[in-house]
Amino acid sequence: MPDATVIGGGISGIACATSLAEAGAVPQVRERGHRLAGRMASRTLRGTGTAHDGRVADIGASYFTVRDPDFRAVIDTLMADGVVREWTTSFHVHGPEGMAGIASGPMRYAAPGGLRSVVEAMATGLDVRLEDEVAQVEVGGARVLVDGVGVDAAAVCIPEPQARRITQDVPVIRSTWEPIIAVTLVFADRTWGDIDGVFVNDDPVLTWIADDGRRRGDEAPVLVAHMHPVLSTRHVDAPAEAIPAAVAAVQRVLGIPTYPEWVDAHRWTYAKPLVAAEDPCWVHPEVALGVAGDAWAGGPRVEAAWLSGRQLGKELAGRLG
């Protein structure tokens, strides 16, 4: 059976490996981090000195939506298993004059165990190597060389700026990638009322606040705020320096009188591509080498990354016969 290396253990890499395995190939996922999920990360709170040590908070993607019928089938199974839950269809909207109303939209899905658990559940049964960074991918005759070792197929499922560091044999979209600093705030009590999340419009500090307790379903007084891209860019080298401005803005938007018991900032240097290709993925014209991720399939969304990875897996499997 043909072997395949999938570089990246985010949702696109896991979707790619799954469809390669379904087609009879033997994929191995190589992930440089110590856990799967990439930008669907959930952080376990430790050393906070609060009652919420050991609890996880979603510090990457806030939620996901579901449109594609095949993605829906996967998510329905995960819902039946208790991994995924319906969160909400409505978020508050905040503008320069204060709270401006409620915006309704599609169902937003979340996970009781954090979004990382969704990717980990999808990876069940796959051969996954953690803390295994790939340094080089190149075309070598009819094969693909991954760190100098020939494989029948290789899938590059990582953000383009990171892909450029390991290979010159894939196309360049040249999208600009926006950074986001995500600030997690643990409060003593819930004082902000009946709110799941707030789109913060026309604000110099924040773009979004999620109620992580409502999102995960345990009602813990934990918020995660995303800072404005301009401010995120300014503080990308020292995210902790952005914390005072973030806390003040969260207190202002939600009318919270108290300071959080614990607060921390996480930097996403490559949070979202500002331009994405409409094509679902790319495959080399001569060898079984391809690229997938949320800069494809119309991204940058969880569902787009899944669709992109799955399509790449199918196309590489087709090449392998």
Ligand X SMILES: Cc1cc2nc3c(=O)[nH]c(=O)nc-3n(C[C@H](O)[C@H](O)[C@H](O)COP(=O)(O)OP(=O)(O)OC[C@H]3O[C@@H](n4cnc5c(N)ncnc54)[C@H](O)[C@@H]3O)c2cc1C
Residue 31 binds ligand X (CB under 6 A)? yes
Our CB check for ligand X shows the closer of 140 and 298 to be: 298
Question: Alpha-carbon distance 87 to 216, whole Å?
Answer: 8
Residues 266-295 contacting ligand X, CB under 6 A: 268, 271-272, 293-294
Residues 213-242 contacting ligand X, CB under 6 A: 226
Please, what is the minimum distance in Å from the beta carbon of residue 18 to ligand X? 12
Residue from 222, 253, 256, 305 touching ligand X (CB under 6 A): that is 305
Residue from 4, 6, 11, 265 touching ligand X (CB under 6 A): that is 11
Please, what is the minimum distance in Å from the beta carbon of residue 160 to ligand X? 10
Residues 36-75 contacting ligand X, CB under 6 A: 38-40, 60-64
Please, what is the minimum distance in Å from the beta carbon of residue 15 to ligand X? 8
Residue from 155, 157, 198, 287 touching ligand X (CB under 6 A): that is 157
Please, what is the minimum distance in Å from the beta carbon of residue 120 to ligand X? 12
Residue from 2, 27, 114, 159 touching ligand X (CB under 6 A): that is 159
Please, what is the minimum distance in Å from the beta carbon of residue 205 to ligand X? 15
CB atoms within 10 A of CB 261: 16
Our CB check for ligand X shows the closer of 106 and 321 to be: 106
Our CB check for ligand X shows the closer of 154 and 186 to be: 154
Side-chain-side CA neighbours of residue 133 (13 Å): 8
Our CB check for ligand X shows the closer of 256 and 291 to be: 291
Stretches 35-43, 78-86, 186-194, 215-223: which one binds ligand X (CB under 6 A)? 35-43
Residue from 2, 5, 6, 10 touching ligand X (CB under 6 A): that is 10
Residues 71-110 contacting ligand X, CB under 6 A: none
CB atoms within 10 A of CB 143: 16
Give the per-residue contact string, 167-206, with ligand X (x = CB under 6 A; - = no).
-------------x-x------------------------
Give the per-residue SS3 of the chain: CCEEEEECCCHHHHHHHHHHHHCCCEEEEECCCCCCCCCCCEEECCCCCCCCCCCEEECCCCCECCCCHHHHHHHHHHHHCCCCEEEEEEEEEEECCEEEEEEEEEEEEECCCCHHHHHHHHCCCCEEECCCCCCCEEEECCEEEECCEEECEEEECCCHHHHHHHCCCCCCCCCCEEEEEEEEEECCCCCCCCCCEEEECCCCCEEEEEEHHHHHCCCCCEEEEEECHHHHHHCCCCHHHHHHHHHHHHHHHHCCCCCCCEEEEEEEEEEEECCCCCCCCEECCCCCEEECCCCCCCCCCHHHHHHHHHHHHHHHHHHHC
Angle between helices 69-80 and 115-122 (to 10 degrees): 100
Size of the site for ligand X (CB under 6 A): 39
User: Beta strands 153-156 and 3-7: pairing type?
Assistant: parallel
Please, what is the minimum distance in Å from the beta carbon of residue 123 to ligand X? 11
The residues that touch ligand X, with contacts defined as CB under 6 A, are 7-13, 30-33, 38-40, 60-64, 133-134, 157-159, 162, 166, 180, 182, 226, 268, 271-272, 293-294, 299-302, 305
